[in-house]
Chain A
């Protein structure tokens, strides 16, 4: 199986992420999307006239558009049929949220790519549209939690979660802060803890420290380390030896608290 892929593309990440969850082996065909615009080259247009990535080639069957690829992979390779449940109501619900991912959240990805490739606009209209979409998602996830469900379209993760996760978790990169979206934070954290989860640039893994010092402390320290770009051996090292460096740990925590904006990296930490 080949995936025409670009490392910084959120839609390609949707496919890579599901492939990882399903543990399906695949090979990338790496395109120079930026700065080379390979996806508009004649050879690629011959494969996909829309000139868009991702594009999947599974033993000669070629399909484009991230959401269509997710549907194909889930139907073809998920024997338990949980990623795309097949009852009429659950399937329709998943499809509805796939549409949300490819439509309502698309402005977020556009704004992100403009910023990333140095074409930033002062007032990007896509950013405002992206914020409205996040508000819809926040309300939806909040409601789901009140009903006792933790996922977008079912009582377990589906391809709707995968499709929505990529642009949402990368919202910071589009210049949109997730500070005021606590239900989204919690859901992002649940996603990151699913078996097989992989990252892409802009998305950090759940912190792993040698000793279990509790998720809040660990992530507070690591996120502090990451955002200040200044973890020293001391801060990371101290916290893995409880009792040895509590003062340092406390100092790190205090700094993290002072800088609540930076705390958005560890949404699951209510300090």
Chain B
């Protein structure tokens, strides 16, 4: 584990480690990130700090901690870039539904790969995001943006019986997937309430260990009819379905080398993600063995 923590690629990136409102002034919380113990402590002025906890109990203060989008972001090394820009958080027309922490005993990369996969909809989210009668994944585009620091899958189209809590009837829904980092991805999905607008689903994985993750997520949705709790149940149902599949996948670390997978055309995003991870130099959570 110690070797992996020295992983410079993992250390120089940003991770969500808590929802800001979880930690009240004067309170602290202990968590883990990249196999290390971290203490988050909010002072009485409301400022949240973080420190690394050594084996002997000594605390080393961390400087790269930021509160944004109602979340606490931490980088354990020197950040190589700014935190992901999601301007939709500042727009007022969407409701922000915070799903809380969901634990998954697998690597964060498995969680992201599942998140960006269209072909499981019909079989894992039968009746909401897909159905047996429309299991085929139409072709979509995969591209790199922002100097290849971001991976996008665009023009994804899927027939969904109930695309959101507010959806009334089955519809062909257009998706864009944005993978900002190995552990962070955002879906931009047609709103069925406000035509021409997008709902966002953001997934922020906090890798506790290589194969133990906590998923923080938010849905930014147009919905004027349903209660917060109704929308929350909708998303909890979907993510718990994903989780029950994720905990079965082996190996838990994501294989990234060519010929470790036997892909089909609908796996284009997954394959691009695996090869992109391979090139990134990241070690944490990845299975780099050759076939």
Contacts and interface: CB of A to CB of B under 8 A. Distances in A.
A232 interface: yes
Interface stretch (A26-34, A89-97, A180-188): A26-34
Contacts of B122: 231, 236
Given A30-B227, A231-B135, A35 B250 contact: no
Contacts of B105: 115, 120, 175
A243 interface: no
Interface in A7-57: 7-8, 30-32, 34-36, 38
A15 to B, nearest CB: 15
Interface in A218-271: 222, 225-234, 236-237, 259, 261-262, 265
A8 B229 CA distance: 13
B185 to A, nearest CB: 15
B247 interface: yes
A108 B100 CA distance: 22
Contacts of B212: 120
Interface in B227-243: 227-230, 232-233, 236-238, 240-241, 243
A234 B229 contact: no
Contact of B102 (A31, A118, A231): A118
B288 interface: no
Interface in A88-120: 114-120
Contacts of B233: 6-7, 30
Contacts of A116: 102-103, 240, 243
Interface string B99-132: 1111101000000001001011011101000001
Contacts of A148: none
A71 to B, nearest CB: 26
A35 B19 contact: yes
B230 A30 contact: yes
Contacts of A236: 122-123, 132, 135
Q: How large is the interface on A (under 10, 10 to 19, 20 to 34, 35 or more residues)?
A: 35 or more
A229 B270 CA distance: 11
Contacts of B228: 32
A229 B114 contact: yes
A30 B137 CA distance: 33
B211 to A, nearest CB: 12
A232 B103 contact: no
A115 B248 contact: no
B59 interface: no
A117 B244 contact: no
B214 interface: yes
A2 B282 CA distance: 51
Contacts of A115: 103, 105
A145 interface: no
Contact of A233 (B137, B236, B247): B137
Contacts of A175: 105, 247
Contacts of A194: none
B267 interface: yes
Given A8-B236, A230-B119, A201 B229 contact: no
A173 interface: yes
Nearest to A262: B248
A230 B98 contact: no
A115 B215 CA distance: 12
Nearest to B97: A32
A196 interface: no
A38 B124 CA distance: 28
Given A34-B100, A117-B103, A172-B244, A230 B227 contact: no
Contacts of B250: 259, 261-262
A49 B184 CA distance: 41
B274 to A, nearest CB: 13
Given A7-B237, A229-B249, A236-B132, A117 B137 contact: no
Contacts of A31: 229
Chain A to chain B: the 4 pairs with minimum beta-carbon distance, closest first: A35-B100, A201-B240, A118-B101, A118-B103
9 contacts: A114-B103, A172-B244, A173-B244, A200-B237, A202-B244, A226-B245, A229-B249, A233-B136, A262-B250
Given A117-B103, A227-B248, A232-B266, 10 more contacts: A7-B236, A8-B240, A30-B229, A118-B103, A118-B214, A120-B212, A172-B244, A173-B247, A201-B243, A230-B120
